[in-house]
Amino acid sequence: MSQWIGTSNQTYAPYAIEELRRLLPGASFTQLAAGEVFMMECPMEREEVLALIREREPIFLRHIQPVDRSMRVSGSAADLEGLSEMIRNARLMFMDKRTAVHIRRNVKSAFHYSASDTKALLDAVLEEWDAEPVVQQPEVVISIYAADDQLYVGFAPPADMLSDWPGGAVRFQREEGQVSRAKFKLLEAERTFGLQYSDYRSAVDIGAAPGGWTSLLLERGLRVTAIDPADMHPSLLSHPLLTHLKQNASDAKLPLQGFDLLVCDMSWSPMLMSRLVLDLKESLKEGADAIVTVKLMHRKPLQTIREVMERLSTAFHVRKAKQLFHNREEITLHLRKK
């Protein structure tokens, strides 16, 4: 038997729960924050659950935290004292390890202490036992979720939680002169799919305007062909590695096997996007990668995703499908040309 806190993007918890029901027979679920955070109780032990999630990672599950400890909270100073004592008693989990403390609160939680105050207190406790409090690249994470009247605490490496960010909420700092926030989506895809854009040489960006994704690829040194009848951002137009084809992608004449990366973030229907990507497959080198978003335009996202992946799998291996933190009414696919 094991307990978990699961997190999805806002409103998508029902789909994450449906995926987990299919993956983990006998699991039961309780809502903690409407449409986003839920408790899962599973008859399987922790390692069996993790093995199944690693093998078939749910698309809509952004973050999962084991529940190793729990305590009732009242809104008094005793809450912090009890949490400190709980961490001291679990010291074998993180002695001599780089340890991060992640705290999230339900808006109705009786636990009123800020994340920064709670972290400062627990960092001091960690230092008592020769653990190294860190923010980045931890070996183990102390993940705390403050529900209405309970604290749920779990200890695990970040890979077992699917993210090294609290609740899987990946935050990037906006840069001066940034073309668009869409850049964050492509940055998160790089981390999630284990890619390095600087390893590629030439990319085609379908539906590129105003150029958020193109700008990131240019920064990484790629030669980019951006296709869109709309205008690109003025800051990109003089870039020596950019070619802008101001036309519809379906009309573009591209060189055979000219690109080792395709990216596509168009607001088209999933079937139209799939057809366009398949039509462009001959312009991609063998083994080329593709990062594409799938817009979820009706009430059956799991069915839509299944149909899109079946269609694209005629020419591509679907490496991973994930709803990223920076996705909204969509998911992102990582494909590799067969």
The DSSP 8-state label assigned to residue 136 in this structure reads S
pLDDT on residue 300: 87
Mark whether 163 and 187 lie in a shared domain: no
Residues 221 and 299 in one domain: yes
Q: With bands split at pLDDT 50, 70 and 90, how would you rate the model's confidence at 177?
A: low
**Domain membership of residue 212 as a residue range:** 182-337
pLDDT of residue 131: 83
Report yes or no on whether pTM surpasses 0.95.
no
Q: Where are the alpha helices (DSSP H) in the chain?
A: 13-23, 46-55, 78-89, 115-128, 182-192, 212-219, 270-279, 301-312
- pLDDT above 70 covers a percentage of the chain that reads 98
What's residue 181's pLDDT? 79
Residues 194 and 144 in one domain: no
Provide the annotated active-site residues: 295
Q: Residue 207 falls within a domain, yes or no? A: yes
CATH classification at residue 232: 3.40.50.150
What confidence tens digit (pLDDT) does each residue in 112-129 have? 888 898 999 999 988 887
CA-based radius of gyration for the chain: 22
Going by C-alpha positions, the residue among 247, 312, 328, 258 that lies closest to residue 286 is: 258
Whether residues 188 and 304 share a domain: the answer is yes
In the chain, the number of structural domains is 2
125 & 187 share domain: no
Same domain, 186 and 157: no
Interval 276-335: pLDDT, tens: 999 999 999 999 999 999 999 777 899 999 999 999 999 999 999 999 999 999 999 999
In tens, the pLDDT along 251-268 reads: 889 999 999 999 999 888
What does the pLDDT look like over 211-243, one tens digit per residue?
999 999 999 999 999 999 999 999 998 999 999
Sheet with strand 69-72: strands edge to edge: 69-72, 150-156, 140-146, 98-105, 132-133
Residues 319 and 206 reside in one and the same domain: yes
Q: Is residue 102 part of a domain?
A: yes
Q: Is residue 319 a part of any domain in this protein?
A: yes
Specify whether 187 is located in the same domain as 322: yes
The pLDDT value recorded for residue 33 is 94
Whether residue 242 is found in the same domain as residue 310: yes
Q: Is residue 111 part of a domain?
A: yes
Give the type of residue at 283.
Answer: S
Give the domain CATH number at 54. 3.30.2130.30
pLDDT band at 175 (very low <50, low <70, confident <90, very high): low
Name which of 126-130, 131-135, 164-168, 310-314 the model is least confident about.
126-130
* 141-162 tens-digit pLDDT: 999 999 999 999 999 999 999 9
State the chain's mean pLDDT as an integer: 93
Q: How far apart are CA 90 and CA 142, in angstroms?
A: 10
